[in-house]
């Protein structure tokens, strides 16, 4: 009888330990790889929950509004990851400011779209000198050791917004916030690893 009670007690302890294991590790493992979602028209896409900086690569073919919001666990809009009219291709980040747990993406569209969700470490490689068009997220091989001046250029009609981010993917400094064509020399902070670009035209970053 005592042996049976001991075996039951041991089983109870193991079960409790298993149930007490937090699910956060599973969520972070899922966000370490790319997940691609496809659809057409309005939809809500469930993604592996994450509170770390991440990016969404989006494409869209349609004539009307294409809007994508990252929603937190309560269904509230936490970050705008796409906002365009007509065909679109771009990359935007979320969770670069704050640590809200994102659980889904809300899509407003009248055509076909794709969404690829990745950790920010999968952003496009950046060697300080870089060119692009529209929305993008850039990644240096290693964080900058010291502050350095860089030149920003933009040819477009709408907002041109550039943020520097640290090695964790958190926003550190607003480098530019202009409308229309722009050229300026700004200081890139020490410790910068990433940059986010919001633009509607062509742009470049140079030493």
- Does residue 22 register a pLDDT over 90? no
List strands edge to edge, sheet with 43-50.
43-50, 102-108, 65-72, 77-85
Q: Give tens-digit pLDDT for 95-133.
A: 999 778 999 999 999 999 999 999 999 999 998 899 999
In angstroms, the CA 54 to CA 146 distance is: 25
β-pairing, 130-133 with 202-206?
antiparallel
According to the model, what pLDDT value does residue 186 have?
Answer: 98
pLDDT interval class at 197 (50, 70, 90): very high
Assigned architecture for domain 123-207: Sandwich (2.60)
Q: Which CATH class is domain 34-122?
A: mainly beta
The model's pLDDT over 124-174, given as tens digits with 9 standing for 90+, comes to: 999 889 999 999 999 999 999 999 999 999 999 999 999 999 999 999 999
Name the average pLDDT for the chain.
86
The pLDDT assigned to 33 comes to: 55
How confident is the model at residue 14, as a pLDDT? 35
Does residue 184 have a pLDDT over 60?
yes
Res 173: pLDDT: 97
pLDDT one-digit tens code per residue, 32-69: 457 899 999 999 999 999 999 999 999 999 999 999 99
Average pLDDT over residues 170-182: 97
The helix or strand, by DSSP H or E, that contains position 20, with its residue range, turns out to be helix 2-20
Helix (H) or strand (E) run with residue 6 in it: helix 2-20
Please, which pLDDT band fits residue 4 given cuts at 50, 70 and 90? very low
Domains 34-122 and 123-207 share a fold: yes
Domain coordinates of the chain in residue numbers? 34-122, 123-207
Overall average pLDDT of the 179-187 stretch: 98
């Amino acid at each position: 009888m005592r042996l049976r009670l001991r075996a039951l007690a041991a089983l109870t302890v193991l079960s409790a330990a298993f149930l007490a294991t937090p699910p956060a590790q599973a969520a972070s493992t899922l966000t370490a790889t790319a997940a691609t979602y496809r659809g057409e028209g309005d939809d809500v896409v469930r993604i592996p929950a994450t509170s770390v900086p991440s990016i969404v690569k989006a494409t869209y073919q349609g004539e009307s509004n294409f809007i994508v919001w990252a929603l937190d666990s309560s269904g509230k809009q936490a970050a705008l990851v796409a906002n365009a009219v007509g065909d679109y291709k771009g990359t935007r980040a979320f969770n670069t400011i704050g640590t809200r747990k994102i659980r889904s993406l809300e899509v407003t569209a009248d055509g076909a779209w794709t969404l690829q969700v990745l950790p920010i470490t999968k952003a496009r490689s950046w060697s300080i000198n870089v060119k692009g068009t529209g929305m993008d997220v850039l990644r240096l091989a290693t964080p900058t050791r010291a502050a350095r001046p860089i030149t920003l250029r933009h040819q477009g009609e709408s907002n041109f917004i550039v943020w520097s981010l640290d090695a964790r993917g958190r926003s550190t400094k607003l480098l530019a916030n202009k409308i229309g064509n722009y050229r300026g020399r700004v200081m890139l902070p020490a410790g910068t690893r990433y940059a986010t670009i919001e633009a509607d035209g062509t742009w470049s970053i140079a030493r």
